[in-house]
Amino acid sequence: MNKIGSISVLHVIFLSMTMIGLKNHVTIIPSLLKGAGRDGWISILLATIAIFPWLFLVLYIHKKSKQQSLTEWLEKSIGKVASAIVRYVVAIFLLIMAAFTLGETILWIKSTFLPESSILLPLIVFTILCILLITTNLQTIAMVNVLVLFWVVVLGFFIAFTNLQVKDYTLLQPFLEHGWQPVLTTTVFAASGFVEILLFLFIQHKVKDRIRWYHFAVMLFILMGLTMGPTIGAITEFGPTEAAKQRFPAYEEWALGKVGRFIEHFDFFSIYQWLTGAFIRVGLLLFIAADLLKMTGDRQRIWKILAPAFFFMTLSLAPLGDRLFHLIKGDYLLIITFFFMLLLSLFLGIIALVSGKSSQKIKT
């Protein structure tokens, strides 16, 4: 296995905190609060319990593929044509996910601190930066992630403890106010983020050590905390009704921050958190897509093919408008992502099972 530009399992965990963490910390919370209200945190807990056994399917695929490139493994197992179809379908879906992440970031920028500016300039700048990132290698992405993640975590704990003075935990009661149905229905939103752990199998050939079950478990429980924190924070700070109306509850929580009598309004720190999180998430999604399309290391193809496709895909989301964009993202894309990742994992699991039996027959 080629270890040039490889990363450690710890880097993989850190990448999951940033890439999936942005989605769980920001994107899915409005849908959770809208669907389950004050019981949104119970949906997160149920999703964690439900997804935990699924991690062993991911581990099974990881073991059976012997940590080689999934692209090569699929070509050996199902042939080049079938493998190419799978690779292109997954790569296109990753491009859509990256486009929606950047699209939501641009909408947030426009609705918060640049309301009179055109979306074109931040879109061009962000696209160039992300493409520059993926033309390097995974080791560079992991190193950049460690640098930005440290301050993201520090700022996250800072605002969490600072806002303790305005939190009212009695707003979490009564539990199951509207029964189990809203809770069970919205469980899919939290699970939509958790199942993205599967994506790290597509970079497993660049990881130095074998990923164990407890590594996947650590990712899951960290992501649960990243989802639970701002969800409970929004409910206890704004109340379930007001929190459900907000487009970006995690951002609004920053406006409540206050230290003493004269230091307040720390919401500008959230700009750093969101932009760096989006930068790593979009960059890593595009890197995996480029690897699936066999463009890794080929800067010319990335700039000529991947960059324009991603740019115009994101630009096409602009005419949707804020309301329609959040409707599509919250009511459709999150659910589609969950089922897409779940079906993809089942498909890879079947291939792992069949290819394992085939190799045993050949040996006998």
Segments making up each domain of the chain, as ranges:
9-363
CA atoms within 13 A on the CB side of 155: 20
d(CA 89, CA 142): 26
| Sequential pLDDT tens for the chain (364 residues) | 445 568 899 999 999 999 998 888 888 998 898 888 889 999 999 999 999 999 999 999 999 998 888 999 999 989 899 999 999 999 999 999 999 999 989 888 888 888 888 888 889 999 999 999 999 889 999 999 999 999 999 988 888 888 888 888 888 888 888 889 999 999 999 999 999 999 999 999 999 888 999 999 999 999 999 999 889 989 998 888 888 888 888 888 888 878 877 777 777 788 888 899 999 999 999 999 999 998 988 889 999 999 999 999 999 887 787 788 888 887 789 999 999 999 999 999 999 998 766 555 545 4
- Token readout for 171 is 């707003």
Each residue's pLDDT tens digit, 202-254? 999 999 888 999 999 999 999 999 999 889 989 998 888 888 888 888 888 88
Of 300, 358, 361, the residue nearest 64 (C-alpha): 358
Per-residue pLDDT, 364 = 43
Q: What is the DSSP string of 78-127?
A: H-HHHHHHHHHHHHHHHHHHHHHHHHHHHHHHHHHT-TTS-SHHHHHHHH
d(CA 287, CA 234): 33
Q: Any bridge partners for residue 259, and if so which? A: 263
Per-residue pLDDT, 358 = 57
What amino acid is encoded at 229 in this protein?
A: G
Q: Is the full-model pTM beyond 0.75?
A: yes
Which value, to the nearest 10 degrees, does the dihedral of the CA atoms of residues 332, 335, 340, 345 take? 170
Widest Cα–Cα separation across the chain:
78
CATH number, domain 9-363 = 1.20.1740
